[in-house]
Structure 1
Amino acid sequence: MSNPKPHIIIEGAVQYSLGTMQGNQILYDFDKMLVYLDAKGKLLFGKKFKIYKEDRDILYKLCLYFIQDRIACKEFGIDIDKGILLSGPVGCGKTSLIRLFKYLVPHRKPYEVIPTRNIVFGFNHLGYKIIEDYGNGQFFCFDDLGVEPMGRHYGKDCNVMGEILLSRYDLFLERKIKTHATTNLNAAELEERYGNRVRSRMRQLFNLVAFDRGSKDKRK
Structure 2
Amino acid sequence: MMNPCKIVEGGVEYNLGKFDGKSMVYDFPKILVYLDAKGKLLFGKDFKIYDDDHKIILKLCNYFINDKEKCAEDNIDPDKGILLTGPVGCGKTTLMRLLKHLVPMQRPYCVIPARNIVFGFNHIGYKTIEDFGNGQFFCFDDLGVEPIGRHFGKDCNVMGEILLSRYEFFLETKIKTHATTNLSAKELEDMYGNRVRSRMRKLFNLVAFDKNANDKRK
TM-score range, shorter chain: over 0.9
Q: Helix, strand or coil for the counterpart of 2:140? A: strand
Q: Which residue of 1 aligns with 2:57?
A: 59
User: CA separation in 2, counterparts of 1:87 and 1:21?
Assistant: 33
- Runs of 4 or more above 4 Å deviation: none
Q: Helix, strand or coil for the counterpart of 1:145? A: coil
Q: Helix, strand or coil for the counterpart of 1:51? A: coil
Residue correspondence of structure 1 range 86-101 to structure 2 within 5 A: 86-101=84-99
Give the root-mean-square deviation of aligned CA atoms.
Answer: 0.7
User: CA separation in 1, counterparts of 2:57 and 2:141?
Assistant: 18
Q: Could you state the TM-score of these two structures normalised by the residue count of structure 2?
A: 0.99
Q: Helix, strand or coil for the counterpart of 1:85? A: strand
Q: Deviations over 1:26-59 (max 9, x none)?
A: 1100111111001100100001110000011100
Q: Which residue of 2 aligns with 1:44?
A: 42
Residue identity matched to 2:107: K
Q: Which residue of 1 aligns with 2:15?
A: 17
User: CA separation in 2, counterparts of 1:138 and 1:44?
Assistant: 23
Number of aligned residue pairs: give it.
218
Q: Which residue of 2 aligns with 1:124?
A: 122
User: CA separation in 2, counterparts of 1:36 and 1:23?
Assistant: 22
Residue correspondence of structure 1 range 1-220 to structure 2 within 5 A: 4-220=2-218
Residue identity matched to 2:67: D
Residue identity matched to 2:70: A
Q: What is the aligned-residue identity percentage? A: 72
User: CA separation in 2, counterparts of 1:76 and 1:41?
Assistant: 25
User: CA separation in 1, counterparts of 2:173 and 2:126?
Assistant: 22
User: CA separation in 1, counterparts of 2:152 and 2:82?
Assistant: 34
Q: Helix, strand or coil for the counterpart of 2:94? A: helix
User: CA separation in 1, counterparts of 2:9 and 2:21?
Assistant: 25
Residue identity matched to 1:90: V
Q: Deviations over 1:115-135 (max 9, x none)?
A: 001000000000000000011
Q: Helix, strand or coil for the counterpart of 2:39? A: helix
Residue identity matched to 1:146: G
User: CA separation in 1, counterparts of 2:84 and 2:37?
Assistant: 22
